[in-house]
Amino acid sequence: MRLVGEEGLKMIEKMPEGEVTDEQVAGATEVLLNIVRRTLFILLENKLAVCRRERDSNSGWLTYLWHLDMSDVEPQLVKEKKNLTRHLQARLEFEENNVFYVCPEGCARFLFNDAAENEFLCPMCGEDLIFEDNANFIEKMRRHLEGLTVNQPA
C-alpha cells in the first residue's frame, strides 16, 4: 500500500494474467492510465513486475508488455518492515528524549527550547502553549514496534 497507494493496489488485485499492455490493464482494472503506468514502473523498480518491449514493424511504435512477478515480494516486505522499524525506533527515541508544548488551538507542536524562545506563546495565534504529556503516544509506539519485531527474520 505504501509503495503504490490505494489505486495501485486496486490495479494489482485486478490485473489480467499474462503479458498485457498498460492500456489493457487500465481497461480491465478501471484505474486511470497515468496511475497504471506510474504503478507499473514502481513495481518494475522494485522487481515486482517484468516489462518487455516490442516494436511494431509497420509503425515503428514501441509497445510495452507487462506482467506481475511476485516471486520477489517476500524480500521486499522484509526490507519495508526493517525500514519501518528503523524509522519508528528513531521517532520513539525522539519522543522519549524531548519535552513538547502545543498550542491549544492546534496551530503547532514545539520542542521545549522552541517554546521557551517564543516565551511559551504560539507564534501563529498568540495563545499560551501548554505542556504535552506524550506518554500514551510513546506507549502506543512501543506496542507497535513490539508487534513489528515479533517473528522478524534475523
Mean pLDDT by 10 residues, the chain (154 residues): 85 92 94 94 90 92 92 82 93 97 97 97 96 96 88 52
Q: End-to-end CA distance of the chain, in Å?
A: 24
The angle at the Cα of 138, spanning 135 to 139, to the nearest 5 degrees, equals: 85
Of 87, 73, 90, 98, the residue nearest 4 (C-alpha): 73
44, 22 Cβ separation under 8 angstroms: no
Q: Do 78 and 127 share a domain, yes or no?
A: yes
Q: Is the pTM of this model over 0.85?
A: no
Q: Do 84 and 138 share a domain, yes or no?
A: yes
Looking at 21, 43, 68, which one is the last position of a domain? 68
Q: Do 78 and 140 share a domain, yes or no?
A: yes
Check residue 61 and give its pLDDT. Answer: 92
Report how far residue 77's alpha carbon sits from residue 75's, in angstroms, rounded to the nearest whole number.
Answer: 5
Check residue 154 and give its pLDDT. Answer: 45
Residue 57: inside a domain, yes or no?
Answer: yes
Cβ neighbours for 1, distance < 8 A, ≥ 6 positions apart:
9
Check residue 113 and give its pLDDT. Answer: 97
Backbone φ and ψ of 134, nearest 5°: -100, 20
